[in-house]
Structure 1
Amino acid sequence: MILELADLQIQPGRQAEFDAAIEHGLRTVISKAKGFSGAKVQKGIESPERYLLMIQWATLENHTVDFRESPAFGEWRAIVGPFFARPPVVEHFGLLTTVE
C-alpha cells in the first residue's frame, strides 16, 4: 500500500467552494481510478487555506502512471485546480509501522 500525501494551498476565502469541489472530485474521479483504495482530506485549523489530501494506492504506479497519465487526471485538475494558490506538493510514503 502506498500513501500519496498532497499538501494543498488554496486561494483565501474559497474554502467552502473548495470543500465541495474536492469531495466531488474524489467521489466522481479519483475513487474510480485503478488501484485506488481510500482517501482522506484534513483541513488546516491555524491555516484554513491549507489542506492535506491523503490517497491510498495499491502501487506507486497506480498513481504515477495509471492515474497521472490518464484522461481522469485532467478531469481531476479541472475540478480542483482553479482553487490552488500554488502548485501542490506531492510525495509518496510506504508504511513503516502501526500502533493502535
Structure 2
Amino acid sequence: MIVEVAVLQVKNGQEALFESDFILASQYISSISGYLSHSLLKCMEQENKYILVANWEKLEDHIIGFRQSPQYVLWKELLHHYYDPFPIVEHYQGVNLT
C-alpha cells in the first residue's frame, strides 16, 4: 500500500466552500482503480490548513491512474483554485521493522 499525503493551505475564508466541494470531488478519486481510501483532516491550530491522506494499492494508481484520468480534470476544477500555495504531494510506504 502507498500513502499519499498533501498539506493543503486553503485561502482564508473559503474553508466551508472547500469542504463542501471536497465532498463532491471525493466521488472522482474513489472511482479510480487501485484507490483504497482517503480522508481529509483539518488543523486545530490553523483553520485554513488541512491534510489529505489517500491510500492506494500502488504508486502508479495515483500518479498515472488518477492524475491522467478524466476524473482528475474534474477534481482539479472543483478544488485547485482553493489552494495558496499549491500543495506538495508526497508518497509514503511502510517500513519493515521486523
What range describes the TM-score normalised by the shorter chain of this pair?
over 0.9
Counterpart AA for 1:79: L
Q: How many residues align?
A: 97
Structure 1 stretches lacking a partner, 5+ long: none
The equivalent residue for 1:85 is 84
Q: Determine the C-alpha separation between the residues in 1 that align with 2:45 and 2:11.
A: 15
User: Cα RMSD over matched residues?
Assistant: 1.4
The equivalent residue for 2:16 is 16
Moved over 3 A (4+): none
Percent of aligned pairs sharing the same letter: 30
Q: Counterparts of 1:13-92 in structure 2 under 5 Å?
A: 13-26=13-26, 28-92=27-91
Return closer, same or farther for 1:97/1:12 CA change in 2, 3 Å cut-off.
farther
Structure 2 stretches lacking a partner, 5+ long: none
TM-score, structure 2 as length reference: 0.93
